[in-house]
Amino acid sequence: MRYVLAVAEAGGVRTAAAALFVSPQTLSEHVRRAENDVGGALFHRTTTGMTPTALGEVYISHASQAVAAFDAAERALRAAASGTPAGVRIAWAYGLAGVLRRLLAALVADAPERPVRAVPMDCAGQLSAVARGDIGAGVFHRVPANRPPARVRAFTLEVTEAHVLLPEDHRLAASPVKLTELAGEPLLLPADSGSGCLRGWELAAFASHGLTPKVRGEVHGIDVAAARVAAGDGYAMCVPPGHPVPAGVRFVPIADALPPQRVGFAFGEATPPQVVAAARGLARRRAVRPAPPGGGTH
């Protein structure tokens, strides 16, 4: 990520390589690997330099945040080593950055003295981590495959009806769309790594209607998915309605009866009560009935 950011800032490989004290060949290879990971070109390459593509702008925006988060994590580790508390760790799953932001805003409002660190983690991993006490809480996709283990309680934070993201000028974008219509269109499926729960929900939705989707490719992150939809590469089911998306795309309801997408909050015995209270308050504001304080799930 740092290599891609350096190329974007310098406007070319040679200048960036000199600043990083690496060879241009090494830097070019790292950029190509990043492009292979996201499934598209990150830069327009011309004789005068390199400028980000639309996909590259999305990548650079999130890479900047990721690098900043990594640097913050290093500072937190150094603080922990020196005996300074680094704060409670809250994990969040693929596609749930918006929910995490709302939760953190609620926590800052309710308990500004409680330091928090947010870490990305897949659904199964964060439920196990809560059980072990490695993290304080988790924000995850509440699908049947994600059943909290013993010593972990959970309740629903938000519920949204299933939608797809399509280009505005797509022939199916004018009205609610059926899965039979979508099955023949290219689907941008969440990558299995880190997002298997949401990927499984999408495949199960088609299977419940006796359908198999036409998978165009995998995407790493909902912003990459939205950028590829805007570029005309296919449609996506993993982008939650209300998430900021590029111009030229539209959220379209799914006409078939499907289970709603539920976002859960997982916590354990060691979770600070201020964190749980903030999550319950968010659930109330999002018109979801949270579980009673004594425990239980729904």
* pLDDT tens figures, 233-265: 999 987 777 777 888 899 999 999 887 788 999
Architecture of domain 162-253: 3-Layer(aba) Sandwich (3.40)
Establish whether domains 2-64 and 87-159+261-285 are of one fold. Answer: no
Domain ranges of the chain: 2-64, 87-159+261-285, 162-253
Confidence tier at 207 by pLDDT (50, 70, 90):
very high
Specify the range with the lowest mean pLDDT, choosing from 41-50, 189-198, 229-238, 257-266. Answer: 189-198
C-alpha to C-alpha distance for 122 and 65, rounded to whole angstroms:
19
Region 87-159+261-285: CATH code: 3.40.190.10
- Average pLDDT of the chain is 82
The residue type at 153: R
Structure-token pair, residue 64: 């900047």
Confidence (pLDDT) at 171: 95
Task: Give the pLDDT score at 113.
Answer: 65
Q: Is the pLDDT of residue 219 over 50?
A: yes
Q: What is the CATH architecture assignment of 2-64? A: Orthogonal Bundle (1.10)
Q: How far apart are CA 226 and CA 165, in angstroms?
A: 7
